[in-house]
Chains A and B, each alone.
Chain A
């Protein structure tokens, strides 16, 4: 809409009479100079209403992933964390502990290298490494392609390790049944409030590296208060992926998410 006169410059816009200088936006868009042509001032520019959600296409692809997984009774969990929080170590432990009781496959997201896919393969799971290049997060299209390649069997658990980043991955639905944010003790107590979107999006927050608490200044109650401010009522598990403390509760949580998805009928 023209801010001067309120006209809507549709293709058939009625000629109007105020001076051209009143239309700086439209004027700026003209590639030719004003003196180049004679006109009655019927702007050729058109205003097109879009009302288009920027994330609509990703969300639609994510919904398709979710349907496709649900049809096969497959449960996908999207794991978000900053770099170095211990996501891959947690996945390695999980693969070793649960592979005997359920099919478990992994989608690894990183900007570069296959290091993490190699680690989880060594732990015993099939894995696809998605290399995002400049991309700072996984999106639903990348996960769809990775699922094509992995073809997880019915009843499988798909662990998706997002790119190490507590900002961008929070916006992109992948088709998971749950998002898990892994925080770690050395990051400090304030991170839930510094990266509130990720914590708000989380269905579960895991506090990793609790074995390091005696060695770093970390006030657990302050961290918990920050996490619960960013996401009131969010479930929290404390564990040490390397030493093993608290892993039983993590496995129980994964089992319960998997049990909550109806087994495929076919």
Chain B
């Protein structure tokens, strides 16, 4: 349940950056390959935000797709999970996107 630690970090960061103003919305980018459960993160965010300026803030999660490049044939490969196989048969893939875990923006009242 590392999502709780991540949620606490998100709440800490938005709290510091809001300058004390109530935070009403937080937009997070979570890659499909980021080893983070969006549902667990939402649940933990609400818990972590209690008694902070982010209490009741809406967490919006933008999921980025998993995209990799085959190191053998250079073809692009879409990934639904953190491993896969290129159509050419190779499984040595360089991740291009999908492992991000980033607070994009927030709205303060």
Contact = CB atoms under 8 A, between A and B. Distances in A.
Contact of A25 (B9, B25, B81, B83): B25
A53 B101 contact: yes
Interface string A33-68: 000000000001111111111110110000000000
Interface in B20-56: 21-22, 24-25, 28, 35, 56
Given A52-B103, A200-B83, A233 B108 contact: no
A54 B107 CA distance: 17
Nearest to B100: A53
Given A45-B107, A48-B107, A52-B13, A196 B91 contact: no
B99 to A, nearest CB: 9
Interface in B85-103: 85, 91-93, 101-103
Interface residues of B, number: 36
B69 interface: no
A196 B5 contact: no
The majority secondary structure among interface residues of chain A is: mixed
B24 A57 contact: no
Contacts of A167: 2, 35
The interface residues of chain B, by DSSP majority, are classed as mixed
Given A25-B25, A51-B102, A168-B2, A57 B107 contact: no
B82 interface: yes
A57 B5 contact: no
Contact of B104 (A9, A28, A50): A50
Interface of A: 9, 25-26, 28-31, 44-55, 57-58, 134-137, 139, 167-168, 170-172, 193, 196-197, 200, 228-233
13 contacts: A31-B109, A45-B108, A47-B105, A48-B107, A50-B104, A54-B28, A55-B9, A135-B5, A136-B2, A137-B5, A168-B1, A196-B81, A197-B82
Given A54-B10, A200-B82, 9 more contacts: A25-B58, A29-B58, A51-B104, A53-B102, A54-B102, A55-B9, A134-B4, A136-B2, A231-B83
